[in-house]
Structure 1
Amino acid sequence: MGLKKISLYVLFIFSFSSSNAQRIAIVGAMPEEIKLLTDTLKQKKIIKKDGLVYYKGKIHTQKVVILKSGIGKVNAAYSTTKLISRFKVSKIIFTGVAGGVHPESYPGDMVVATSVFHHDYAKHLADQYIVRATTNLEGKLNPLYFKSDSLLLLLAKSVISDISFEKINEHKPQVFFGKIATGDVFLSNTEKAKWLYREFDAFATEMEGAALGQIAFQNHIPFLVIRSCSDNANNQAHVDFNEFKKPAADNAIRLVMGILDKM
């Protein structure tokens, strides 16, 4: 199926469901990861509740609610839970930065998650580190990989060529589609980054995506995680992150806005 047909098909599906007038939720962990969105927001209304700040309004023609979740899996899970209990949320898009672990990724490149998983929910034996599936509140096993919504993935693929991304160090950003690994650790270790790619075929690593994905999965809400690489999760990551997080975050937001524009 060509990109034009994909775009028309996805547009039909979203148009058909838009009559429900639910809001699309957009979440980022840090202020830099949502600022361009909140600056663009029309008919802005700010709601402070639950220790969180919600930004309601419209981007393009879409009703949205934007939220800064805070850093880490606990904050992401708490924020996502409060978000979906307070608003009628039809979809959730997480936007932000990450460490790229794909060997061909560079700062500025983006990873659209086909799925997300917890790389630190594991059994650490004497000679083995075994990543496990989480359980829900009833004690039933969740999937090891929380899959992104197929329609949101199709839509993301269909708009990439229309978006002008900011170059970082003269590098024109690429967009990868692949797994994203989540853990409560800022990864700045070359060997660990290689391990995530080798063992799980992960393209990037960050600290919130799988927590949001798990809450969305357990509440039957379609989601998508979009990450722009601020670094390569290697021994240099703590330096690159501070230098590139702002332009990287803005590139991820440009892709989110491109998706919203075509819904």
Structure 2
Amino acid sequence: MPETKPTVAVLTALSLEYDAVLDHLTDVEKLTHPRYGTRARRGGLPGTPWQVALVDMGEGTLTAATLTERVLSWLDPEAVLFVGVAGGLKDDIEIGDVVVATKVYAIHGGKQTPDGLLNRPEAWRASHRLEQAAKEALRGKAHFKPIAVGDVVLADSDSKLAQGIRASFNDAVAIEMESSGVAHAVHLAGEAGALIIRGISDKANADKSRADAGGSQPLAAANAARAAVAVLHELEPKPTAPQPRDSDLREGPFRSSTDAPTYGGDHLDFRGSTLPGPFTAKSVGQPPHDDGQ
């Protein structure tokens, strides 16, 4: 039987992001969820030990959270990468740059009071294992910084939203609409790690439409996809747990390299066995021995 390669899920929100990743895969097969009809493509990534399950989820945090959970339970990936485009929030982050999120902020939590909005954000940190692989693979080639996530396309750097982000999430260097859903679903699942990789396609200002029309999105998506591939070349699968021996599967406290303890009438043979604690032998169905004293 051929060895099954470990799986990593790569999720995208836009078709152009999906296509940018698909270009790197070989021997691609189509998958359909048997109950919900969710589609995926699974293929090899040359030069790595991984098979990649690629899913185009669509836009928005709620969709991202729902479909991430579905992918986790359906395809059982060892890691989840969310790959796509984002708007830049800092002057030193240029169109085409790649940002690897060290932290994901959900920016829309808060309490509105007569004195203004009191922010109540949530945040998720990148998987340490995946972040370490990314730093090794992309050292000097990507920005490792937090990103902001909300259910809105930001195209006005002077808006109240932009001002609020600068005031309350000042270390965020990019903004997009899905990663908090992905990060939260992976966090709740508790096993696979998540890493967010974004290419900057605009500056989240009034020039967004002009940048998009100039081809910035395909450029940013291609750069993010190449960064994801570089990370997967660096990332190693988790060690496989050794298969238990037949003797380890026996019920009870006895573990033997050969056989379970045997009963020989008036004694038990424990040779080759390991006992977890003190042991007391008692006769069953026999009167106590009287030695005459």
Q: Do the structures match in fold with TM over 0.5? A: yes
Alignment correspondent of 2:21: 37
Tell whether the 8 Å contact from 2:98 to 2:227 is kept in structure 1 after alignment: no
**Structure 1 residues 131, 69: CA separation in 2 closer, same or farther (over 3 Å shift)?**
farther
2-side partners of 1:129 and 1:103: how far apart?
26
Tell whether the 8 Å contact from 2:136 to 2:234 is kept in structure 1 after alignment: no
Indicate yes or no: 2:179 matched with 1:193: no
Per-residue CA deviation, residues 86-126 of structure 1 (Å, 9 max, x unaligned), is 01111101000001112311211121100102112222333
Tell whether the 8 Å contact from 1:54 to 1:65 is kept in structure 2 after alignment: yes
Per-residue CA deviation, residues 128-154 of structure 1 (Å, 9 max, x unaligned), is 223325xxxxxxxxxx21010112112
Alignment correspondent of 1:154: 132
After TM superposition, the structure 1 = structure 2 runs for residues 223-234 of structure 1, keeping only pairs within 5 Å, are 223-234=194-205
Q: Which letter does structure 2 place at the counterpart of 1:188?
A: A
Three-state SS of the structure 1 residue aligned to 2:197 is: strand
Alignment correspondent of 2:142: 175
Q: CA RMSD in A?
A: 2.0
Matched residue pairs, number?
224
Alignment correspondent of 2:179: 209
1-side partners of 2:10 and 2:119: how far apart?
28
Instruction: Judging by fraction of residues, say which structure has more helix.
Output: 1
Tell whether the 8 Å contact from 1:101 to 1:194 is kept in structure 2 after alignment: no
Which consecutive segments of 4 or more residues in structure 1 shift more than 6 A?
none
Three-state SS of the structure 2 residue aligned to 1:43 is: strand
2-side partners of 1:44 and 1:64: how far apart?
9
Q: Which letter does structure 1 place at the counterpart of 2:168?
A: E
Indicate yes or no: 2:208 matched with 1:237: yes
After TM superposition, the structure 1 = structure 2 runs for residues 82-101 of structure 1, keeping only pairs within 5 Å, are 82-101=70-89
TM-score by length of 2: 0.71
1-side partners of 2:105 and 2:99: how far apart?
14
After TM superposition, the structure 1 = structure 2 runs for residues 23-172 of structure 1, keeping only pairs within 5 Å, are 23-49=7-33, 50-60=36-46, 61=48, 62-133=50-121, 144-160=122-138
2-side partners of 1:109 and 1:79: how far apart?
27
Per-residue CA deviation, residues 168-198 of structure 1 (Å, 9 max, x unaligned), is xxxxxx6211111111101111133354234
1-side partners of 2:96 and 2:109: how far apart?
28
Q: Which letter does structure 2 place at the counterpart of 1:236?
A: D
TM-score by length of 1: 0.79
2-side partners of 1:215 and 1:154: how far apart?
21
Q: What stretches of structure 1 of length at least 5 have no aligned partner? A: 1-18, 134-143, 163-173
Tell whether the 8 Å contact from 1:193 to 1:234 is kept in structure 2 after alignment: no
Q: Which letter does structure 2 place at the counterpart of 1:185?
A: V
Greater relative CO, 1 or 2 (CA 8 Å, sep 6+): 1
Shift of 1:213: 0.3
Shift of 1:51: 4.1
**Structure 1 residues 156, 197: CA separation in 2 closer, same or farther (over 3 Å shift)?**
farther
**Structure 1 residues 78, 197: CA separation in 2 closer, same or farther (over 3 Å shift)?**
same
Shift of 1:161: 5.3
Identity value in percent: 28
Three-state SS of the structure 2 residue aligned to 1:241 is: helix
Three-state SS of the structure 2 residue aligned to 1:40 is: coil
Q: What stretches of structure 2 of length at least 5 have no aligned partner? A: 236-293
Alignment correspondent of 2:231: 259
Q: Which letter does structure 1 place at the counterpart of 2:233?
A: D
2-side partners of 1:23 and 1:53: how far apart?
16
Shift of 1:254: 0.5
Q: Which letter does structure 2 place at the counterpart of 1:213?
A: A
2-side partners of 1:122 and 1:103: how far apart?
27
Shift of 1:64: 1.4
